[in-house]
Amino acid sequence: MSKVNELTIEERLGQEAYARRIAIERYRDDEFNRFVSRHGTYFKIHLLHPAVGAVLKALGLWGRGRRELLEPVVRENSVAIGPALPPEFDGFRILHLSDLHIDIEEALVESIARAVAPLRYDLCVMTGDYRSRTIGKWDKTMELMARLRPAFKGEVLCVLGNHDPIEMTPELESSGYRVLLNESLVLRRGEASLCFAGIDDPVIFETHDIGKALAAAPSGVVKVLLSHSPRVWKQAEAAGVSLLLSGHTHGGQICLPGGRMVKLNEPPPVRLHKGAWRVGNMMGYTSCGCGASGVACRLNCPSEVVLHTLSR
């Protein structure tokens, strides 16, 4: 196994979770070779996705959809945490990207870099899905992620999504990204602390462990949790998380006018599927993503990068 931070990937994630992930990855790769299967992977990749692209082109919507993909919108989100946030972190800014699926369109490297270049932030985070397909090779993904890394200032914290194999971790980290596998990082400014934790994919692999991720968090510290999906909101709120950052939904990607989602790929409540939301004492944000899956196009749902500003 590759060594990262003196521990193997298996040790960092946990032996049981690692074994589960590897088994599911192998199963899905094998499933891809079957025309008829439980998840319909072959059908989606070879028939459904090309058909969607053909329909959009026939309707004259392809050019507009490409612009919505390659011209990311910068959104600002204010997160009023209250007096629990140390004064030292008042105004702390988090740049949030999700669902890059960067190998679906090489031009995403330039478009994302151009969008983030003028932005001021203290930390960059990414909430999963760097590869376009859920199966197959990912060497092109790693090449493009390495090319993108210089666009970001300072440290970049990441979690893996349901499209990302666990074996991707060492290469991401060798390119300058820090992957959190049910792990956390405590930032310090003088005597003040702020905790960022990240869980593994809760969608397909279900190898997330919030308890393990937060185990090293100091008592009373404000906790920000990175998760590929918002579906862990109940467990996160119960664990005392102040802010949950996620993605996975793409905001619908191909939407009706007004951004109304045609297809929901997350369980209810629907208000957690896009943008800012709140549950009890926890705030959350579900990113529409800055890439695309299936077809290299977005409609009535432009790609986005988000700046979250923490305040007291």
As averages over each run of 10 residues, the pLDDT of the chain (312 residues) reads 66 94 89 65 70 84 94 98 96 98 97 98 98 89 98 97 96 98 96 97 96 94 98 97 97 93 86 95 97 94 98 95
Question: 185: which strand partners?
Answer: 196
- What separation in angstroms does the CA of 181 have from each of 140, 210, 260, 265? 23, 10, 33, 23
Question: What domain range includes position 248?
Answer: 3-311
Domain CATH number, residue 167? 3.60.21.10
Structure tokens at 201: 């994919």
Question: 279: which strand partners?
Answer: 282
Question: 94: which strand partners?
Answer: 123, 308
Size of the chain in residues: 312
Q: What is the pLDDT of residues 7-21, one digit of tens each?
A: 899 999 999 999 999
pLDDT for 266 equals 86
Instruction: For residues 198 and 81, give the distance between their C-alpha atoms in angstroms, rounded to a whole number.
Output: 19
Number of structural domains the chain divides into: 1
> Is 119:74 a contact under the CB 8 Å cutoff?
yes
Q: What is the pTM of this model?
A: 0.94
pLDDT for 296 equals 94
**SS3 assignment, position 194:** strand
Listed in sequence order, the DSSP H helices in 153-270 are 169-174, 210-214, 233-238
- What separation in angstroms does the CA of 95 have from each of 44, 108, 111, 186, 214? 32, 17, 16, 17, 21
pLDDT for 263 equals 82
pLDDT for 50 equals 75
